[in-house]
Amino acid sequence: MTLRSLLVALLLLVSANLWAATPLPSPRWDQLSAAEQQVLAPLGHEWDRYSPQKKQHLLQLAHQYPSLTPAQQARIQARLKPWADLTQAQREQARANWKKLQAMPPEKRQQALQRLKAKHAASGAH
């Protein structure tokens, strides 16, 4: 084998490995690994409708998941399920409320969060 053919073979091998290691920008649900599907299971029925950016954000979360503490993992799972159960209109309202909350001065934001927590506790919700 000549030096040129060795270089071509090496280049093909490297580019094939890079291509295989590059994540899909917007993978379908059936293209996710079993571990990713397990973490993101509550969102599975809507996954294919998510934007590429949303998918990448959630995949990043799924990849960090194994290194989280059990309490952090439980918190994520406890939040994913109720979010998945919301209608599109409810999600949009939640996003709008979050934006309003983030735009508040810190003191008013803290007061609003305390009122929300008190209301949440009084309703007996978890």
Task: For residue range 85-111, list pLDDT tens digits in order.
Answer: 999 899 899 999 999 999 999 999 999
HEC per residue, the chain:
CCHHHHHHHHHHHHHHHHHHHCCCCCCCHHHCCHHHHHHCHHHCCCHHHCCHHHHHHHHHHHHHHHHCCHHHHHHHHHHHHHHHHCCHHHHHHHHHHHHHHHHCCHHHHHHHHHHHHHHHHHHCCC
User: Where in the chain are the domains?
Assistant: 33-85, 88-126
Looking at every residue in the chain, the average pLDDT score rounds to 83
- Count Cα neighbours of 69 within 13 Å in the Cβ-side half-sphere: 3
Question: What pLDDT shows up at residue 34?
Answer: 96
For residues 18 and 96, the model is more confident at 96
Q: How far apart are CA 23 and CA 75, in angstroms?
A: 27
pTM above threshold 0.75 = no
Of 55, 23, 62, 64, nearest in space to 39 by CA: 62
